[in-house]
Each structure stands twice: as C-alpha cells, then as structure tokens.
Amino acid sequence: MREYLLTLCITAAVTYLLTGPVRKFAIVAGAMPEIRARDVHREPTPRLGGIAMFFGLCAGLLVADHLTNLNQVFAESNEPRALLSGAALIWLIGVLDDKFEIDALIKLGGQMIAAGVMVVQGLTILWLPIPGVGNVALTQWQGTLLTVALVVITINAVNFVDGLDGLAAGMVCMAAAAFFLYAYRIWYSYGIEAAAPATLFAAILMGMCLGFLPHNIHPARIFMGDSGSMLIGLVLAAGAISITGQVDPDALALFTGSEKAAVHQTVPVYIPLLLPLTIIAVPAADLVLAIVRRTWRGQSPFAADRGHLHHRLLEIGHSHSRAVLIMYFWSALIGFGALAYSVNSASMWIVLGVVFLSAVGLVLLLLPRFTPRVPLWAQRFVPPRYRRRAVPARTAPAPAARAPAGGAVREPAGGGAQAHGSTALSELERSSRFLAHEKERA
C-alpha cells in the first residue's frame, strides 16, 4: 500500500506542478478558444491541461517501475507498456483537437486505433464471467471487438461529462478510488497477481485527477480539454479491461468453493463494467441520452449541445458548485455502493443504505423547486436566498408646482419632454420592482 501511495503522490505532484507552466504555454500557443453558445464559463479559458496529466502518467509509471514490489508488474506483464502506447496516441489526438478542432469522426478513428494498439500488446478481454454459467472464453476477434468498444464508450462518456469546472476530474477520481479498493482487495485478499496492473492504473489515475483538480475547480484557470478527458477515460477503461478480462474466476473459486460462486461474488462489479462501467454510470447515462437526443433531432451524435445532465442541473436552478457536487454525489453513491455490495452482498443494510442515499440525492436534485421561506425571526440565521423580502413601497407622485400669479405654468429646465420622460422612467422602475418582487414570492 505504501508504494501505491508513493506512486499516487508523485503523479499528483508532477501533474500539479506542470499545470501552471502548461497554462502559460496554452495561452501563448493560442489554445484558448472564444466563448461558444454551449459553454458555461464567461471568460476565455486555456485548454491543453491534458499535457500536464500525461506527464503525470509517465512519472507515475516511471516511479512504479523502480519500486521493489510494483516492479513485478512490469516484469510479468506487458499491460503498463500497452497503456502507455495507447495513452500517448490518444493524448496526441486530443492535443491536436484542443488546438485545431479536428473532425469528430477523425477523433473516433483515433480512439479505435489507440484501443487497437493496446489490444495488440496484450491488454484485451480474454474471457467473461457470466452469472449462472461461469467462465466463458472469447475468441480473438470477440475479445478485440469488445475491448475496442469498451475503450471507445468510456472515452466518450468521460469526454461528454466534461462540461463544468472540476466535474470530469472529480468524478473520474471517485471512480478510480472505488476501483482501486476493489482491485487491491482482489490482489491482496485473494493473492491474484493478475489484478496488480489494474490496481496500479487506478492509483496513477487518482494522482492525475487530484493533481489537476486544484487548477480546475470553479472558477477554473485551465481546462483539461480533449487531451485530458480522453486520456483519463482511456486509463479508466484500461484498468477495467485488465481486471475484467484478465482475472480468472477459477482462481477465485479456490476461495469461494466453486466457479459459479466466484462469478456471483464478482457480479456486482463485473457485469456493470460490461454495460458499461458502473463506476462511470453517470457519464455513460449522459452519453446514451445525448446520442438519443441528437439522433432524434436529426443531428450528428457528436454535435455539441446544452442538453447534458450538468446543463439541466443549471437550468432548474442549481448553482455551478452545487451542480458539480450533486454529480459527485451520484458517482460516489453508485461506485462505492457497488464496491460495498461486492464485499458483502448478503447484507441488507447496504441495500437499504443505498436506497436511503438515493432518496437524499433526489431531494437534492429537486431543491431549487422547493425553496422554503423562513419566519422573520429566523432570517438572520439563514442564507439570503431563504429570506423574505419586504414589498417595496410605492412612492407618491410629487405635488404639482403652483402656477405663478401671472397664470402661466413654467416648464422645467429642459422642456416638458424631459419631465414626461422622467415620469415614464419612474413608472418603469416601479413596474420592474413589482415584477421582481412577485417573481421572488413565486
């Protein structure tokens, strides 16, 4: 565990220290596009944050290669090198997209090539644990197609959810934390060394996200861009593929009594990883809804819009920070709920706890629609948005000036038009105040 923590800390430190210089480089290189209609931020913000995250990945792999216990992962498996090759390719495509806005189909082709590079080097799904059936071996073509599909789905799911400051990095960090605990348990509790690469990938991914988050929390000073979102999506997919398709349930059968029991024990995480990953269930749901929504409108599935889940949270009244925290909450609930269920699936308290927290999450989602108003005596103890505002008193019209003795009424300086304009302006102000008050009461 200490070596994993050391790798995580070094990855986070390298990513954090490089993000500042990368931000200056992005500004000089012109990777700071103008505000688009679908954007939430109000000021142009540089991209290319994925550069710092990629070098953090390289630093984490380099440190792990020189540690006593983690060095065995590199000696006995080719998966770290496969991950680095695919990550370098997808990172280069993301950098080009952050600078030149390449076509969506070209990005899709690059994602498939990066997945194919990892498959060629051995990072692929060899078998699937099926509940009630047991271990099902896959042919080479079946494993290749399924691996490429999982990589592409995960990359685009993370890319689609990257719409608010700190959202993608925080959600992937929580998913990586849950995945790390699961893979670490498989390795050290059962002694299955095939889970070691996935454990290392999850630790490095946590370091990448934690190192970048301080620069990306609202208001963000830099965005990770496609170079970062596609990179962390690929690393997350690589860990899931490694532990799903490389860990043989026959090895777990030695501890659980039978192969079917072993499959049932790992079902809470294995099966959702295929439909696709439970740990990114929220981004995956956003991806599916976006494809259906855009196809229904006759648009390309890769056409950007403002219909994502985080955009909807802003539309119903949530602030930027609250929308991000709500997405964090659901990601943590699904990921750690599946983790807890995989540890002890016979406990009803886990199921009841997940149901209760889901109800809490629904209340948080609907909070802007039910904004309570506290009594007058308690207003000083609550935030301003919960206080009652007094009705603005209508100002009485000014008394007309008496006519002079000669009978002629003097016009004010500037003529009657100016006086009439000021009267109309005051009426407009009163009307706007009244409408604002009625809206506040509603």
H or E element, residue 263? helix 259-273
Q: Which residues are registered as beta bridge partners of 130?
A: 134
pLDDT in tens, 355-406: 888 888 777 776 665 555 666 777 676 666 556 665 455 555 555 544 444 4
pLDDT in tens, 71-90: 888 988 889 999 999 999 99
Q: Which residues are registered as beta bridge partners of 127?
A: 137
Res 261 pLDDT > 70: no
Q: Which amino acid is at 212?
A: F
143-169: average pLDDT: 86
Would you tell me how many other CB atoms lie within 10 Å of the CB of residue 133? Answer: 11
Phi, then psi, of 259 in degrees rounded to 5: -65, -40
Question: pLDDT at position 9, please?
Answer: 95
Q: Is 226 annotated as a binding residue?
A: yes
Question: pLDDT at position 410, please?
Answer: 43
Residue given tokens 């596009």 in the structure block: 33
CA distance 114 to 77: 19
Q: Which amino acid is at 43?
A: E
CA distance 409 to 220: 62
Concatenate the DSSP letters of all residues of 172-192 into one string: HHHHHHHHHHHHHHHHHHH--
DSSP letter at 191 equals -
Q: How confident is the model at residue 415 (pLDDT cuts 50, 70, 90)?
A: very low
**Longest Cα–Cα distance in the chain:** 114
47-70: average pLDDT: 92
> 243 vs 280, which has greater pLDDT?
243
Q: How confident is the model at residue 425 (pLDDT cuts 50, 70, 90)?
A: very low
